[in-house]
Amino acid sequence: MSLLYDTFDSPIGALTVAGDSQGIHHILFENNRYDAKGREHWQRDAHALRDARGQLLEYLRGERVRFDLPLAPHGTPFQLRVWKALADIPFGQTWSYVALARHIDHPTASRAVGAANGRNPLPIVLPCHRVIGSSGALTGFGGGLETKAALLRLETRRDALFA
């Protein structure tokens, strides 16, 4: 798949955004657990992805709580359902994998939900960082646990300032 992409510096390290006329397909951290396939065919075009870059940087500066971007993730029907549900987790809050499984009407599928969450191609925008273990522990995150903790702190501070 030939996508347009941009890579830029951010407060949490370099981010890469890739998309096409249908929407954003990928947001990648510097050190991703899973890499996007076909990157050798991508073409750099910062101008085409300026809205995504701008909104991500606004969020990371604490100036944005919602994203308004066309999204075009590719996955199984179950993955797509989980990823769509991530957008229902309110800014500044966390849900457990069990809560997310219940939210999509699959209360016994917390492991499958966790696997789908781990494959989320649009982290931050579809906020998989807001999903934590039932004990409250931070669990795996494609951008690393330090990045997950930083994103949660950013949202908590922002939420506390405007409560």
Q: Is 60 left (phi over 0), alpha (psi -120 to 50) or beta?
A: alpha
Q: Find the catalytic residue in 128, 131, 151, 154.
A: 128
Active site annotation includes 50: no
> Letter for the amino acid at 29?
F
Helix (H) or strand (E) holding 156: helix 145-161
Helices 110-118, 77-86: axis angle to 10 degrees equals: 80
Enumerate the H helices of 17-109 as residue ranges.
Answer: 50-60, 77-86, 97-103
Active site residues: 128
